[in-house]
Amino acid sequence: MHGRPRNDPRRKDAAAAAEKAARLRELQAQLLHNHRNRIYTDEAIDSSSKLLEINPEVYTAWNYRKLALQHNLDGVSDPDAVKSAIEGELRIVEMALKTNPKSYGAWYHRKWILNLQLLPADFEHEFRLLDLLLKADTRNFHGWNYHRFVAKLKNTPEEEELGFTKKMIDFNFSNYSAWHNRSSLLSHVLKKNAQGFSKEDILTEEYDLVHNALFTDQTDQSGWFYYLWLLDQTVCINDPQLVSSWPVDGSDLVLSTSSKIHDFQEFLSTKNGYRIQLHRGTFPVILYFDRAVKNIKPSTVHVSSSFVKNEDLTWRPLSAEHSEEACCWVAFLKLPDEMSSNSSSYPVSVSLCRSDEIIASNDSHFKHPSEFTFTVTLSSKEIIEESVEENFVWDYVDLCKPQEGPCPMLFDMLRINKNHEVKDIVWNLQMLSNEMELFREFNEEDSKFVKIILAKLLVAHNILNSDGSCKNLTTDTEEVLSFYDDLMKLDPSHKKYYEDEKSIVLMDQLTSDDKSLSKHCWHFDKPTSSSSHHQYCLQLNKLSLTRIGSVKNLLWVQMLDLRNNELRSVSGIEALQLLVYLNLSNNKLTSFTALEPLKLISSLRVLDVSFNMIGSHAIDTTRYLCLSPLSHTLDPRQLVEEYEKKNTNVQSNWEAILFLRAMHLTQFDIKGNAVVNQNFRDLAIELLPTLKWLDGERVR
């Protein structure tokens, strides 16, 4: 590691090596005998010391010494005896570290000893030991971890620790551990807004420091990684914010109470005439934050209405990883049955107050009160009859036309933080402009690092312009996209990463305003018996997208066409809680696991995943067949018993079973995937009781 071999590269005498191996076997046998029989004599402990001096990687020996120390000091009150035992343990650790300075067991044992606090720590000795080890290898991450441990134990001021990292960086710019430790310290300083620390002053000094490293050796990656961290700090607003919601502020939900509506009711925005389908009697309230947050609940979000009690609502994080944190949260409001005979309007207010309970992943709190209101109107008028008698066809020639004029969902309605106090970002924008000018002066046209930084700077500049007070500036998106095209050629080993970054930039460009988005909206306006009549379809096909990215401006979308891209995952799409029609055909999806986020969209009825690669790659299906919090939340044994009774090959179809049993599809297209055969078709029909159409054929 770091160019320093762990083993002695010099050739050893065969006889000496054999003698050492025999000695190791003898000492290990003694250790196991003593450990098994709980023998903690001085002779037994000395034997384990000899073993660890030769091979510090014997974890059993370290555990044995812990038990021996606890046993021998039990009931001992003599301070000299305690001091002798503790110092003996610290000495054996130092002997082990001379053999291998990166021994996990040795470092953990030393931490364990000091945490016992049976003897005051000799901090001067600890730092002197660390100084010797870090001089031998300045990037020894074990040493840096232990340095942080000792500094915390001593309550070393952060200013002093920052000075230490600065000294180590000045000694060697190529010190990942020092840069990482510095970013950790500064993150803590910035987070707590320590007195005497100005964020602008800190970041300005850090930019100067990292510039020295980058201009000294442009090929060294450590400085570039620290620069990317600095860029995040420059762009990031300190506290989480609510950036969009549904229903949109000021909208009117018109819900039909007609008995002829079989499966869906409808929403009609009085501001723009946009029609949207909803499940009978329920509709979602969606909150979309600029970062993942937790603790969204009735005590932190108050919904005021005459037909639902705030304390009865359940807020759910939309996370395919079953995390308690998510950017998007949803709660479903249900209309009481007795309201169906009324033709009245009911105002609803959703408010989020400043709360220390709403916490982001960086431990920052929600400090920007937000509120949006909408109206629910009940109508007995028949709007449209839902039908699944016809197979839905994604036909842009005969059934729909391009959207004329602005996007149907006005963007000023989506942005619910427009009344927030705008943060002063003049310094941030000026810093980004200065950095762009600096890196454009680099003469290295083929430097991947320069291109990455310029792409990131341009995107960061756009983020501040779009969310801050300077909204008239435009982003040179084409230049960013060209940078990523160049990077895929310069650095093909990281091509997938650059493809993902390019996709995020492209998605942000397409969904940034109604003018851009309206170019991709199509209106199904031809009369049919299907519910797709009068629907708007967002067409984002043939864009080479590999991932979806932010969908904060797409919460209103019900019909989404993503075919003919290169999607490997649909992560992020779970925020589209109104989605009914989805086309993912001709992408690069390789398994049903890649479709997991769709399980969180209860409104989805029509799904097309045809001509992907599902089933073409071998997967370890046995990983689901064990009870583990890291595998799956369901008890697999129950499913095994349930489907084996039906003569279903559970292990071969495990992913399909977990996915399909959670869906409520009426139409499913999956032809052109390796997984498809007659057995799979039969399984899909069995698992989807609501299914009417499979690959264009009527099944019920």
pLDDT, mean over the chain:
83
Best mean pLDDT range from 169-173, 418-422, 630-634: 169-173
pLDDT band at 405 (very low <50, low <70, confident <90, very high): low
Could you read off the pLDDT of 149-170 as tens digits, one per residue? 999 999 999 889 999 999 999 9
Per DSSP, the chain holds a count of helices (H) and strands (E) of 20, 21
pLDDT band at 604 (very low <50, low <70, confident <90, very high): very high
CB–CB of 621/596 below 8 Å?
no
pLDDT in the model for residue 564: 96
How wide is the angle at C-alpha 567 spanned by C-alphas 565 and 570, nearest 5°? 130
pLDDT in the model for residue 627: 38
Could you read off the pLDDT of 250-302 as tens digits, one per residue? 888 777 655 444 444 444 444 444 555 555 578 899 999 988 999 999 999 99
Residue bearing the bigger pLDDT, 597 or 620: 597
Residue bearing the bigger pLDDT, 264 or 303: 303
3-class DSSP assignment, residue 345: strand
- Mean pLDDT throughout 55-74? 94
Tell whether the model's pLDDT for residue 535 goes beyond 90.
no
Take residue 333 and report the two structure tokens written for it.
């409001």
- Mean pLDDT throughout 67-95? 93
Nearest alpha carbon to residue 556 among 533, 575, 532, 531: 575
CB–CB of 575/557 below 8 Å?
no
- The dihedral through the CA atoms of 179, 183, 481, 503 has a sign that is positive
Q: Model pTM greater than 0.75?
A: yes
pLDDT in the model for residue 90: 95
Tell whether the model's pLDDT for residue 468 goes beyond 70.
no
CB–CB of 239/225 below 8 Å?
no
